[in-house]
Each structure stands twice: as structure tokens, then as C-alpha cells.
Amino acid sequence: MANFFPRWTNILPLKIVVCLGVMASGVVVAFTYYATPKALRVGYMPSQPIPYDHALHVEQLGMDCRYCHSFVEHSGHANVPTASVCWNCHQHVAKGSPKLEALRGAMGVDVDHQPLEGEAGKGYPIEWVRVHRAPDYVYFNHSAHVNRGISCKSCHGDVHKMKVVYHAESHSMGFCLDCHRNPEQHLRPLEEVYNLDYDVAAYLEANEIRNAEGDLVTTQEEFGTMLKEQWGIKPKESCTTCHR
């Protein structure tokens, strides 16, 4: 973890102050767009204390993201579930599995689900390794996105197909701004935000969505533009939106 967020990132707030000054004098700070070290993060895939598999739980068992990431639609921060959420099922399912040893430890029980003695019986929080983390000088908010028709998929990729979660998108400033400038490329109906298998063409065909002229809508571009107007979506681009 230590060298994943290298020391030079500490001086970035200073760079922002300098940039704001440059902006004030009317020069476009194109470099912030291109200078972001994308390669640092895309593909980052730390190993986790339990080999938890999204493909199995979401794609095969059909679980909703919000069963575990329950804060995501109510708060700025998405949460990772506590051990007791897993235990709802795993006190019954795959009992004794060696892959669940750290889960049993977290619940304070042995392989036969008998309480461990002493301190160990109290359990401990599972130490999941964070995959995505915005720098301290960036303000981000989950609920502001998922309640406005932006899916997890736009920012985290095909998590429902990942056996091990990895950093799929760059989360660079250019990445944020590309969408803030063209949200119609990403907007989808609110009930489809957590459906990572959503297919816009299939949705439009099944629902026979029509434009103001009465013609069938067939492209993301046109559908996204309709949703944007209907919902009054206008993502901000000013520096203070994301740097407070």
C-alpha cells in the first residue's frame, strides 16, 4: 500500500492552488488533463483476506450490490459489508470451507462454529484492502451519481464478472470531466443503475421508447439526451465541485 500512493501526491494540493492561479489568468491547464498517472492504478488488484468472488455472488447467485454496499445510494461513501452480512448466509452455507477461515475468525468461532475462547471469541473486523481511493484533495460522492442515473459500471467496470476486484477505470481528472461534459453517453433509467448486464438497445426495444416526434429511440446518445433533459442533469465542471 505504501508505494501505491507515492509521496509526491502530498504536494498536489499545492499544485491545485498554483493551477487555480493560472486559471484566473486565463490559461487553460491542459496538463492536468494529460499528466495524470493513469498507469498507476488501472489494473490494481490487491489480494484480499478472504477470496470473495463478485462473479459468483452477483452473476450466479443474483445478489444486488446494495445488499452489501448498503450506503451507496444514501451517502457519499460506499461501504464494504461487515462480517455479519456474510454470516447471514455463511453460518449455513459452505460451513467449514477453508476459504472462509478469516470470516470465522472475524465472527469469533472455530471451524465447527463453536465460540473461540477468550479475546478471540470477540472476533475482529475483516481488513479488506481498499482498491479505489480518491486523493484527499478530491471530493467525491456516490449517492449524487447513482441517484442520477449513473451506474456502478461506468466507474468500476464489470464488477459482476470479477472473481477478484481490480481497478478497471482510471479515475483521473480527465475521466471525471469526460462524463461531466457528456453525461448523455452514460445516463440510464434509475431502476437499471445496479443491473450491470443492462443493454441499452434491448431496453429501448423492449420498452418502445419514443422521442417527441413519436419515432422510436434507438441509440444511447438520443436516449441519454432525453433523460438528461427530463431530469435536468447538469454536472458541474468548476474546480470547486471536486476540489473543496
Q: Considering only residues 212-231, where is the footprint of ligand HEC by CB under 6 A?
A: none
Binding mask 147-176 for ligand HEC (x = CB under 6 A): -x-x-x-xxx--xx----x-----xxx-xx
The C-alpha atoms of residue 94 and residue 89 are separated, in whole angstroms, by: 9
Using CB under 6 A as the binding rule, whether residue 89 contacts ligand HEC is answered as yes
Q: Which burial class, exposed, middle or buried, applies to 106 when counting CB atoms under 10 A from its CB (0-12, 13-18, 19+)?
A: buried
Using CB under 6 A as the binding rule, whether residue 144 contacts ligand HEC is answered as yes
Which cell numbers hold the place of 182?
457528456
The C-alpha atoms of residue 169 and residue 208 are separated, in whole angstroms, by: 32
Using CB under 6 A as the binding rule, whether residue 243 contacts ligand HEC is answered as yes
Which cell numbers hold the place of 37?
498517472
Least distance between ligand HEC and beta carbon 243 (Å): 5
Q: Distance of alpha carbon 185 from its chain centroid, rounded?
A: 18
Least distance between ligand HEC and beta carbon 208 (Å): 25
| Interacting residue with ligand HEC among 5, 133, 192, 209 (CB under 6 A) | 133
CA angle, 62 as apex, 56 and 63 as ends, to 5°? 90
Nearer to ligand HEC, 210 or 231 (CB): 231
Residue 97, CA atoms < 13 Å, CB-side half-sphere: 14
| Interacting residue with ligand HEC among 69, 104, 188, 223 (CB under 6 A) | 69
| Interacting residue with ligand HEC among 6, 27, 74, 77 (CB under 6 A) | 77
CA angle, 127 as apex, 124 and 128 as ends, to 5°? 140
Choose the stretch contacting ligand HEC; rule: CB under 6 A; options: 65-73, 105-113, 205-213, 219-227: 65-73
Nearer to ligand HEC, 35 or 202 (CB): 35
